[in-house]
């Protein structure tokens, strides 16, 4: 088996693939960035240092899969960058599965996992995609599948007159047998595509100037798919993952990432500090973020409410972390009330509380209606179950404060996630809390 056979296979894969348009290989320095002509999507293989021993051969490549980047500089929201990157991920999945299914039985093994990174670059046009590093182990007993050997050009063959000869003694030639090794189970099903709603949210974040790397992108995809597979996503009407590190990127409601009041995007007063660690509001009672979500308008019934907030700082004050008060009905969460250490919450019919003994005011707090009861959870654990008849407050909800009852905090409040939506059962709250905490753990912002 030689590199020529592998290049032949790579070319054949490109030809057979329903989407790929261009195959190339070799060092990128051999291609002029201005003269390089291609059709998209394209795949390019770059040979890398390889190894050989007495039992096997390891041949390595960098694989670039890329698509044309339509930047739309006058309207960056229309950029296809995330869609193109997701498409390139699908093509990589197709390649991995095709290799495993076609070549494993012949003694060729693709080392797993395959690591890859996202990139944006410029040849003659701007392109974006992924760069993967692959290593193929070839056993000495491997044989060459006929479909990756170039077919010779047919040529006339002279007819030979048979001549009697002495029949030679037959010699048994060992048949090459693949040596069993631990390999991935072949699958004809490609890996799932990047979630479309997660991609739309990330595109809004990036278009607004936020910073998103591959880790954040993958974590966001997992966040969305996990919420959906557990039946929770459809119950959330506003979700703020606080991604991108800027006010412009933190403002988006990930469920509907449009820059409008009707889409419940946040508007911030003065007094906020934004970074990759979250969004922090100071102690001024007049500083907050407006969600534009009015429960009395948006909710179908009084028994359809949940609110959540994940904080990494203890404000230790008679100050609402999120909420609204219309003069008679209050809804929201106090993560840490004054110096008592109490977690207060309400869904419109009076406050319920739980006295915290550790990590006061820090963690993932959720309140929800459930029939005639108010239930409260901290870090996925039930801490409040109180008989309270729910009501709907008739004001828009604030983050970092309460709409209608401004109060001074003792310490700044740092927020890293928040949701508003329909009621959740206790098990759904625990599941949602776990999914959100997994997201935060991946980003290095978790508190438990």
306 and 427 both lie in a single domain: yes
Q: What is the pLDDT of residue 171?
A: 39
CATH of residue 257: 2.60.120.200
Asked if the structure places residue 172 within a domain, the reply is no
pLDDT, position 172: 39
Dmax (CA) for the chain in angstroms is 112
What is the extent of the structural domain holding 373?
Answer: 196-443
Would you say residue 11 lies in a domain?
Answer: yes
How many domains are there within the chain?
2
Q: Is residue 167 part of a domain?
A: no
pLDDT tens by residue, the chain, 448 residues: 578 888 888 988 888 887 888 888 988 766 655 555 578 888 999 999 999 888 888 999 999 998 887 754 445 455 567 877 888 888 888 888 888 877 766 778 899 999 999 888 766 678 888 999 999 998 876 655 554 544 444 444 333 334 343 343 333 344 443 433 333 444 444 446 789 899 899 989 988 999 988 889 889 999 999 999 999 999 999 999 999 999 999 999 999 999 999 999 999 999 999 999 999 999 888 899 999 999 999 999 999 999 999 999 887 666 689 999 999 999 999 888 766 788 989 998 788 888 888 888 999 999 999 988 999 999 999 999 999 889 999 999 999 989 987 666 667 899 999 999 999 999 999 999 999 999 999 999 999 9
What CATH number does the domain containing 66 carry? 3.30.70.1700
Q: Are 254 and 221 in contact (CB under 8 A)?
A: no
CA proximity to 442, closest of 231, 236, 241:
241
Q: Give the bridge partners for 345, in sequence order.
A: 333, 352
Same domain, yes or no: 107 and 233: no
Whether the CA torsion 418, 422, 425, 427 is positive or negative: it is negative
Q: What would the 3-class secondary structure string for 273-329 be?
A: EEECCEEEECCCCCCCEECCCCHHHHCCCCCCCEEEEEECCCCCCCCCCEEEECCCC
Residue 274: per-residue pLDDT? 97
Is 164 a member of any domain? no
Q: Is residue 170 part of a domain?
A: no
Would you say residue 131 lies in a domain?
yes
Q: Are residues 121 and 231 in the same domain?
A: no
- Rounded to 5°, the CA angle 156-159-160 comes to 135
**The pLDDT value given to residue 122:** 65
Report if residue 397 sits inside a domain.
Answer: yes
Q: What is the DSSP letter of 66?
A: E
Q: What is the pLDDT of residue 153?
A: 40
**What is the pLDDT, as a whole number, of residue 372?**
87
* pLDDT score, position 99: 84
Q: Specify which residues 109 forms β-bridges with.
A: 137
């Amino acid at each position: 088996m030689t590199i020529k056979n592998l290049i032949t296979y790579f070319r054949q894969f490109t030809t057979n693939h329903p989407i790929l348009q261009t195959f190339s290989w070799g060092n990128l320095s051999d291609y002029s960035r201005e003269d390089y002509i291609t059709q998209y999507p394209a795949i390019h293989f770059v040979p890398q240092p390889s190894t050989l021993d007495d039992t096997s051969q390891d041949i390595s490549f960098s694989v670039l899969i890329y698509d044309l980047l339509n930047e739309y500089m006058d309207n960056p929201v229309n950029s296809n960058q995330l869609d193109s990157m997701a498409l390139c991920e699908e093509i990589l999945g197709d390649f991995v599965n095709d290799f495993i299914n076609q070549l494993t039985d012949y003694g060729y093994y693709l080392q797993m996992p395959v690591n890859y990174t996202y990139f944006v670059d410029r040849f003659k046009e701007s392109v974006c995609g992924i760069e993967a590093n692959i290593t193929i182990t070839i056993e000495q007993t491997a044989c060459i599948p006929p479909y990756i050997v170039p077919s010779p050009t047919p040529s006339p063959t002279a007819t030979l007159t048979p001549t009697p000869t002495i029949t030679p003694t037959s010699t048994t030639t060992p048949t090459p047998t693949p040596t069993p090794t631990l390999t991935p189970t072949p699958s004809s099903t490609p890996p799932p595509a990047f979630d479309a709603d997660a991609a739309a949210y990330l595109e809004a974040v990036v278009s607004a100037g936020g910073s998103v790397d591959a880790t954040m992108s993958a974590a966001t995809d997992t966040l969305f798919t996990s919420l959906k597979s557990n039946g929770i996503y459809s119950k959330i009407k506003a979700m703020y993952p606080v991604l991108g590190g800027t006010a412009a990127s933190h403002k988006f409601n990930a469920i509907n990432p449009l820059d409008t009041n009707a889409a419940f995007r946040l508007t911030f007063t003065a007094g906020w500090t934004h970074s990759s660690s979250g969004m922090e509001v100071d102690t001024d009672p007049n500083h907050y973020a407006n969600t534009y979500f009015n429960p009395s308008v948006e909710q179908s019934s009084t028994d359809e409410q949940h609110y959540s907030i994940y904080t990494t700082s203890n404000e230790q004050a008679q100050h609402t972390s999120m909420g609204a008060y219309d003069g008679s009905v209050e809804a929201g969460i106090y993560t840490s009330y004054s110096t008592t250490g109490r977690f207060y919450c309400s869904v419109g019919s009076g406050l319920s509380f739980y006295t915290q003994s550790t990590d006061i005011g820090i963690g993932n707090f959720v309140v929800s209606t459930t029939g005639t009861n108010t239930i409260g959870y901290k870090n996925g654990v039930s801490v409040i179950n109180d008989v309270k008849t729910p009501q709907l407050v008739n004001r828009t909800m604030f983050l970092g404060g309460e709409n209608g009852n401004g109060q001074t905090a003792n310490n700044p409040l740092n927020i890293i996630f928040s949701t508003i939506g329909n009621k959740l059962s206790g098990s759904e709250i625990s599941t949602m809390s776990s999914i959100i905490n997994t997201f935060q753990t991946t980003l290095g912002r978790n508190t438990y």
